[in-house]
Amino acid sequence: MKTKTLLVILFSLVSIFDVIAQKYYYISDAGNFQQGPYQILRYNEDGSNGKVFIKDGLAWPQDILFLPDSNQVLISNLSSNSVEVYDSESGAYKKRFISGILGPTRMKIGKDGMLYILQWLGDGKVKKYNTEGQFISNATQSGVNTSIGMDWDQNGDLYVSSYNGKFIERFDTDGKSKGKFISTGLFGPTNIAFNSDGQLIVLDYNSGRVLLYDKDGKLLKVLFQGVTNCEGIHLANDGKIIIGVGSSVRIYDNNNVFQKYLVPPGENGLRNANAVVCREMITTDTEEEHTEKKSNHFLMSLGANVYIVSPNADDITMINVFDVKGQLVFTFDVSKDTVLDLSDFNNGVYFARTNGMKYYNKTQKVIVAK
């Protein structure tokens, strides 16, 4: 039997989905910093049904990360030098996931599927783990003190912000420093994030500004100001920017104008938002038609495990891949690449769902068989 991955999209058996997509926002509350009280809140996309999601095992929480293809959510805790794991549905505490990391702050899954974690203390090097919590290596050859924000550009270079150092440092794909990307004009940067145009958004906590830089580190403009203690950011696919601002979480539209509060000041006891994470889940009601309707498909096969976005689907910006439980396992940015390789997926049925003006609710069933 051939051992190579066989990834088959069923063009002759079309599934028509009544897709219900639900987004939830999770907010880390740093409380009174070293003293708490601490909590993780959860809200519906429209700001309704806010509630405490996690209270146990927190020690100055910093970030929230839902592990792909898993029913687990990670919380980094600065004071306990640890990362804890919780049930992603109930918020129930499960176990300590990582220990011995000095002041963990931001966490991200890289394109290699590894878990990257920043350190506020210690040697300041970015640490790389697998998704089982096992240490792999240092992702950077040198450290960044009080590091609290990171993201990758389109070339795979890693950018790390230093809160006390007031700079953004850049590392190549081998982890070697390329020097300061931004060295002036910052007063305490926290989160950093690249938008779909390859521009870097920087939250400057102490000056209360959100700044936009080009690919060379030149300041393009101040997106908005008067957001003192800004920390925690989510870039929505429709261009909205959601950020934590002190005891609130604000939504700005794609023209950088304040739209509304996701979390009004102090609601549910929120004191200091320092992470804002969006999680999307889907449920589907399925009817199957044994007729060919290629217009429903936006992925075209290039071989056993490689697919390309249809040239007719030009409004798609993102493709989210969900498992049969409706949990998001992978996000594909079409603006960066149109070739989708799913060969590393486990066997099973998945649902690829588009995000875009014209194809917003298009969903295609994908079967992975090895």
- The closest of 314, 318, 235, 319 to 278, measured between CA atoms, is 235
The structure's pTM equals 0.78
The mean pLDDT of 347-366, rounded to a whole number, is 72
Residues 6+ apart with CB under 8 A from 305: 4, 5, 6, 7, 341, 342, 343
N-term to C-term CA, the chain:
10
The string of pLDDT tens digits covering residues 15-31 is 444 455 688 999 999 99
- Residue 359 pLDDT class (50, 70, 90 cuts): very low
pLDDT in tens, 243-263: 999 999 999 999 999 999 999
Q: What does the pLDDT read at residue 296?
A: 56
Which DSSP letter does residue 199 get?
P
pLDDT at 363: 81
pLDDT in tens, 99-135: 999 999 999 999 888 999 999 999 999 999 999 999 9
- pLDDT band for position 9 (50/70/90)? very low
Residue 11 has pLDDT above 50, yes or no: no
- What pLDDT sits at residue 321? 86
Q: Is the confidence at residue 67, as pLDDT, over 60? A: yes
Sequence-distant contacts of 345-348: CB under 8 A, at least 24 apart:
345/7, 345/321, 346/69, 348/323, 348/324
* CATH 2.120.10.30 residue window(s) in the chain: 23-280
Domain 6-18+282-369 -> CATH class: mainly beta
Matching CATH number, 23-280, of 3.40.50.2000, 1.10.3210.10, 2.60.40.1180, 2.120.10.30: 2.120.10.30
pLDDT value of residue 283: 57
Q: Would you state the pLDDT for residue 20?
A: 58
